[in-house]
A and B are shown apart, each in its own frame.
Chain A
């Protein structure tokens, strides 16, 4: 059974760095992309970025390079760092497994089939 579990501080001070980790069980970390998504209170879903096992990443341009996603295959986990946080970064943060299809030998991510339960991060002094 595929399970994803987010972990990390629930409270971060403004201007500091938000750090979260997602631990994967029941699935190979090598066969999928892995993504972070967030949802501000009462709002819709906001894609942050994703990573492949080889470290290849892509990010939402709206985050203006504040986000960094990394992967640790030995620990079957991937992580998010978001720097210079403000109150606008207060949200529930989800990690998710991303389905891929091979197109001309390259993996193309297209949808997220397993999600963690989400972790609430509040930015406040």
Chain B
């Protein structure tokens, strides 16, 4: 089974901060990794797919990078609307989707 970890599990930050969330996968998934944002009581929203491709309509302050087993999501200047939980999700050669455990970004 593919295992996924995210760090940190909680990140306290202020508006304007640059933040980075890391997602690690137990085996290589090439660049088949996506990032989602979820706010309380709402469905997740796709931010980035194929490791670094920004989904249409997502602000450019969001960026993704990485390949193989280590990936990062960066928000260049945190905005009030960005306080949420972020999940990574991989797709592997066995056609299975797996989500990471999530990183909650809250107000410092």
Residues of A at the B interface (CB closer than 8 Å) are 35, 44-47, 50, 58, 60-61, 94, 96, 99, 108-113, 115-118
Contact = CB atoms under 8 A, between A and B. Distances in A.
B96 A110 contact: no
Contacts, number: 61
A61 B1 contact: yes
A111 B95 contact: no
B1 A116 contact: no
Interface residues of B, number: 24
Given A44-B99, A47-B97, A110 B50 contact: yes
A117 to B, nearest CB: 6
Contacts of A108: 91, 95
Contacts of B91: 108-111
Main SS at interface, chain A: strand
A120 B32 CA distance: 30
Interface in B15-59: 32, 34, 36, 38, 42-46, 49-50, 55
B43 A110 contact: no
